[in-house]
Structure 1
């Protein structure tokens, strides 16, 4: 007799003839309620004896619904009825443990008789392991036959036992061609023996290996595959089989290469882009920094001169073609170890090999300049190209990428400022100039808005009466730290940054304020310098007159000074603006007269009040230099015949003053009298000026030979 009990020692009747294996779960049902069970049942359902015996129906050991869709209670009643009717009934059932886990079981019901109150023995066999095995087998069959990845099974000697359809599709071999062959029969020859030795060593030690490997297709071409190998142990623990899983990763590698190309190569030229350039330079510099020393490296920053003008004039498509042609021509001149890449636009970096000497670097860069001067034939036109190249050296100019690139860029900028088509090596002087320029560019706008750039007034003297006739307004910038910034440094920057209008307006407003705060007793003309950028602005004349009116300045006491460059860019526009201003009473003078090639033509075509002789003529105004005196006299005489006054700038000696008065020059200015002065100092100069020293100058030249020469010319 077998006893079945829970913790309360419930026993089955001695007359029970039901049979079941000791390991199987057995439940005894009476009137559809569990009255007894064995220990295997309690363990199977993860329950205590009390939990089982308090159940009202065996269907409570199941989820609410069976996989077929029927309610568990209704289907359980049907199964019990069949057992009573047939004496025994076996079926599959989805049970639920008390912890909530579901499991499949094979249930065998055995009944004593056919009455509804008959006792029924339920034997529940857990099918979890069998189900898992069946699922794994089904999945394995499905994977083997349907997987896109290739599967290969070998014996312990690595001879092929079977391959999947995907294997045949990927490799090109039929299944019958592979069976019995060594697994390595498709070796590509790409990997050496050391590679395979390491593979097998890891496989034997760990039981698995994975990585990328190249094999040979049946048609002969090589292909990469992502391979995983697993050793399968037999009952004795020794390797029984090897299972290999792989896929063709050709497209993956190609996609990776395409992404890498997009990330590291310029799409227009095919050259390495900025990212790869910086990465390469960083690697080279890092290697040099780790070495003992004595090594050097040259970095060239290359820029196409006037490329923006070419691009704007002939279009971006032409510009792209030119970029490609230029880089192709440069690349053809490089050694294998040189590294050329495109930084951006028309800027390129060339990293020379560490073995290249400085003399070789200079020689080869000059060769590049020479070859690039040959015109390019593009779109049925011939295009000339010049390059500006700056060079920095490791470790002289820096031991990090940022410093080397910055200093090569500075040297290139210096080459461009020198006229282009040059190679310039970085030096400390060039660097100082560049940083000074950069500092000016950074702070100029703020200096203008804060009024830090102030007007200074340089007196103009009328030679006939020896009186002060006016003053030229000159911009002066003294920074808070006391540093003086020369006008020839910040005025060009103001023009480049389109700040020249704001600067001129600020100077005019400050000058007007000076006149209002502390006037002078004699009327003087204030002369303002005007750039080409201002004069060629269609709104300049109107805006200038409006500003004069707003600041309370009389147009009749104002003069604008223009240079010949204003006229060269657009003579018609300049002429119209000049006529507009003169009609309102504003005087006009041409500054630096005599230094251009078209000055006489301008005098013939323009209506101006004054020409200012360039200081280069005055500096050589010496009794010993008769030719220069003759030229100056000719200019003065010609101007007078055209009804134009002449002012000589840069007068520094009494001898120069004497000659100019003798030649009947109308006005002078220069350090002989005074530099540009602050308004208060200018007012003191005006009030204390003694005209007698000029009035006492006689017309007799201090050099008899000069007087005789001029007499002969007359």
Structure 2
């Protein structure tokens, strides 16, 4: 059973106290009585009551004074009732001034006093709950980070709340009575008023966003607008919640940039470029215009990335992107080719591949003009850590609608044209043609077949003798690889070796060639000592496992290391000099001989000759051709022979096809000769029969036909 509500009655008249207590107890209350003001204050402080009834006229502290003390000490929510025979207006007003909740004049209607007190307590409870609700609402408002406004249908501010004053365009109190159009910038005001009108029709609207420049910077807000209930004939009013979404917008922008922009160069990425290109194609179709796609690749970038590191490569890519921007900077005629002023769009697809779309061109030459500007920019040396790095660019161009009707096709054809530009000598620009696609398809088919050729045993080695001038006998043979394609017949090395070097297949193919040549050479030794020369690709030379692989091959085949000569090119020696030199030293230490192939056709930097452990210089056939009548070639060959002699190298001349060439080369001091004059490349089984043969340089047909 719930305890009775406690009422404190203070009156100096015993009869009045008794009657009041009886009436209240009858109504179900617990009653405490006090004989004067001091007694009442002491009792309340000791045990507070739910309601206090005070006689005004008491000895000592009167009812007014006690009311003021209780109100001051225990707050505004305590119900205090003044009971007095004085019912004049002045007494009543005075009671309320001192903080009374109600005023009951004497004589008292005892039958109704209990109901009066119950009403006062219910009112007090309701007030207490209202205060609690207000406190909760205030706490909620303080906790809400959003701006909260009440406005009418005209956008006039009726109230304003914000826990962050820095998010208000003006102090909150100054907004009241002003309209949204008065306060906000035109675009923000337009969005807000549109949301109000929509909420007036639908009751609720969310998601409208706008940007606002405030004293502390730029902020983004998202609106939620709800129409309040209104009496008929009254103007609609609205609750407007404006949420600060600045961080969310920044995160969305970051996600957008990650999805559509290259993080290194800040250029659009492939996805963004394809979307832009598709949009430009739709415009070109509608306006019956042309557009061009440029596909650019940096010549020599891979070498820089491999030798100087990825950090250096990234710096070059960033500089290249900036040069691209400069090539088509706004205001430049090269960047405003379309009549409607549409700008050239750039992108980085990945690696060192960049693209550009040029909308609204009139002639194909317009695209060529932009490409030439880009190539000119890329020729300027890049500066890395104080050193200059010289790169060039190869660019392919595809034109809509002739070279493709959709974004993917145009990009693919521009890519194909770029590879054609590279094959034409680099620092080049080429337009797409259907023949390029046919060649690219053939190349792709060849690559796919090449991957299976080793497994299917489609490779063969043939050997071309190298004749020792002094003895007329075979000093060594050069191993030459052939691909016996089941459908295409015999494919020459120059047609598939570059492709194998690009896709990495040259490593397993080269290992097969080394193993096969060593096996054949070991078998020949019974018929006479003969060395076998095998070409070594730059890719193989860079492989970390080259030396241990070669050691395993020599051990497995039983070939003496001194009977294996590895032929490398000048280009291979110039790449990654320290690593290359270490590999060559390791090979030489293992007893393998080293020859420099096609000498004079590469970098022609003679300084490396004294640092690289070579044993043989091979004179390229381009210098042998025309001898003995070509005086310039003869002078070059004499110079090479003199250089080799001074450095202690043997020499072998390639491409000897006539007796005059053979006798001339022998006469000026060449050590060995190789070419069709002596023998065409032969299968391994034909070599033993030639090991005891002696060639005379003046024979009419020493090669036997």
TM tier, smaller: 0.5 to 0.7
Q: 1:494-573 to 2 correspondence within 5 Å?
A: 494=500, 502-511=508-517, 525-531=531-537, 544=550, 547-553=553-559, 559-564=565-570
Aligned partner (choices 256, 263, 276) of residue 260 of structure 1: 256
Pair 395,675 (structure 1): closer, same or farther in 2 beyond 3 Å: farther
Residue by residue over 1:15-40, the C-alpha shift from the partner in whole angstroms, topping out at 9 and shown as x without a partner, is: xxxxxxxxxxxxxxxxxxxxxxxxxx
Distance 1:696 1:140 in 2: 115
Per the TM alignment, residue 362 of structure 1 is displaced from its structure 2 partner at its CA by 1.5
Pair 471,284 (structure 1): closer, same or farther in 2 beyond 3 Å: same
**Contact 1:535 1:577 survives alignment (8 Å):** no
Q: 1:294-693 to 2 correspondence within 5 Å?
A: 294-307=288-301, 310=304, 320-336=314-330, 337-355=343-361, 357-375=363-381, 384-431=390-437, 447-448=453-454, 451-459=457-465, 471-482=477-488, 484-494=490-500, 502-511=508-517, 525-531=531-537, 544=550, 547-553=553-559, 559-564=565-570, 580=589, 591-592=597-598, 595=601, 612-621=618-627, 625=630, 648-652=653-657, 669-671=674-676, 675-680=680-685, 682=686
| 2:280 alignment partner in structure 1 | 284
| 2:222 alignment partner in structure 1 | 226
**Contact 2:298 2:353 survives alignment (8 Å):** yes
Distance 2:609 2:419 in 1: 37
Pair 488,210 (structure 1): closer, same or farther in 2 beyond 3 Å: same
Distance 1:218 1:612 in 2: 77
**Contact 1:341 1:349 survives alignment (8 Å):** yes
Query: 2:227 aligns to what SS in structure 1?
Result: strand
Per the TM alignment, residue 338 of structure 1 is displaced from its structure 2 partner at its CA by 1.6
Distance 1:501 1:338 in 2: 42
Pair 422,246 (structure 1): closer, same or farther in 2 beyond 3 Å: same
Pair 643,265 (structure 1): closer, same or farther in 2 beyond 3 Å: closer
Query: 1:478 aligns to what SS in structure 2?
Result: strand
Distance 1:417 1:400 in 2: 26
Residue by residue over 1:86-142, the C-alpha shift from the partner in whole angstroms, topping out at 9 and shown as x without a partner, is: 88769xxxxxxxxxxxxxxxxxxxxxxxxxxxxxxxxxxxxxxx99x9899987676
Distance 1:249 1:479 in 2: 65
**Contact 1:186 1:215 survives alignment (8 Å):** no
Query: 2:327 aligns to what SS in structure 1?
Result: coil
| 2:146 alignment partner in structure 1 | 149
Aligned partner (choices 171, 188, 203) of residue 207 of structure 1: 203
Distance 2:307 2:606 in 1: 32
Per the TM alignment, residue 649 of structure 1 is displaced from its structure 2 partner at its CA by 3.6
Per the TM alignment, residue 200 of structure 1 is displaced from its structure 2 partner at its CA by 6.3
Q: 1:4-43 to 2 correspondence within 5 Å?
A: none
Aligned partner (choices 172, 175, 185) of residue 182 of structure 2: 185
Per the TM alignment, residue 556 of structure 1 is displaced from its structure 2 partner at its CA by 6.9
Residue by residue over 1:243-285, the C-alpha shift from the partner in whole angstroms, topping out at 9 and shown as x without a partner, is: 3333344444344334434444444444334443343234334
Give the TM-score normalised by the residue count of structure 1: 0.61
**Contact 1:619 1:650 survives alignment (8 Å):** yes
**Contact 1:188 1:214 survives alignment (8 Å):** no
Pair 450,382 (structure 1): closer, same or farther in 2 beyond 3 Å: same
Distance 2:645 2:383 in 1: 53
**Contact 2:180 2:189 survives alignment (8 Å):** no
Distance 1:372 1:350 in 2: 15
**Contact 1:216 1:223 survives alignment (8 Å):** yes
**Contact 1:171 1:217 survives alignment (8 Å):** no
Pair 439,544 (structure 1): closer, same or farther in 2 beyond 3 Å: same
Gaps of 5+ in 1: 1-74, 80-84, 91-129, 700-714
Pair 76,285 (structure 1): closer, same or farther in 2 beyond 3 Å: same
Distance 1:158 1:406 in 2: 56
Distance 1:573 1:286 in 2: 58
**Contact 2:295 2:395 survives alignment (8 Å):** yes
| 1:30 alignment partner in structure 2 | none
Distance 2:326 2:287 in 1: 31
Per the TM alignment, residue 474 of structure 1 is displaced from its structure 2 partner at its CA by 0.8
Query: 1:399 aligns to what SS in structure 2?
Result: coil
Distance 1:218 1:200 in 2: 23
Distance 2:252 2:544 in 1: 56
Distance 2:649 2:144 in 1: 98
Distance 2:212 2:522 in 1: 94
Per the TM alignment, residue 533 of structure 1 is displaced from its structure 2 partner at its CA by 6.3
Per the TM alignment, residue 644 of structure 1 is displaced from its structure 2 partner at its CA by 8.3
Distance 2:547 2:570 in 1: 18
Distance 1:588 1:335 in 2: 52
Per the TM alignment, residue 456 of structure 1 is displaced from its structure 2 partner at its CA by 1.7
Q: 1:77-156 to 2 correspondence within 5 Å?
A: 147-154=144-151
Query: 2:479 aligns to what SS in structure 1?
Result: strand
**Contact 1:566 1:574 survives alignment (8 Å):** no
Query: 1:424 aligns to what SS in structure 2?
Result: strand
Distance 1:454 1:248 in 2: 74
Residue by residue over 1:410-451, the C-alpha shift from the partner in whole angstroms, topping out at 9 and shown as x without a partner, is: 444444455543333334455555555566666656544654
Distance 2:307 2:283 in 1: 45
Per the TM alignment, residue 473 of structure 1 is displaced from its structure 2 partner at its CA by 1.6
Distance 1:482 1:521 in 2: 36
Range with bigger deviation, 150-159 or 533-542? 533-542
| 1:60 alignment partner in structure 2 | none
**RMSD between aligned residues:** 5.5
Pair 269,594 (structure 1): closer, same or farther in 2 beyond 3 Å: closer
**Contact 2:510 2:540 survives alignment (8 Å):** no
Query: 1:257 aligns to what SS in structure 2?
Result: helix
Distance 1:556 1:484 in 2: 32
Distance 1:227 1:602 in 2: 73
**Contact 1:187 1:214 survives alignment (8 Å):** no
**Contact 2:265 2:317 survives alignment (8 Å):** yes
Per the TM alignment, residue 201 of structure 1 is displaced from its structure 2 partner at its CA by 5.7
Give the length in aligned residue pairs: 572
Gaps of 5+ in 2: 6-23, 30-125, 331-342
Query: 1:363 aligns to what SS in structure 2?
Result: helix
**Contact 2:396 2:430 survives alignment (8 Å):** yes
Distance 2:225 2:544 in 1: 80
**Contact 1:233 1:239 survives alignment (8 Å):** no
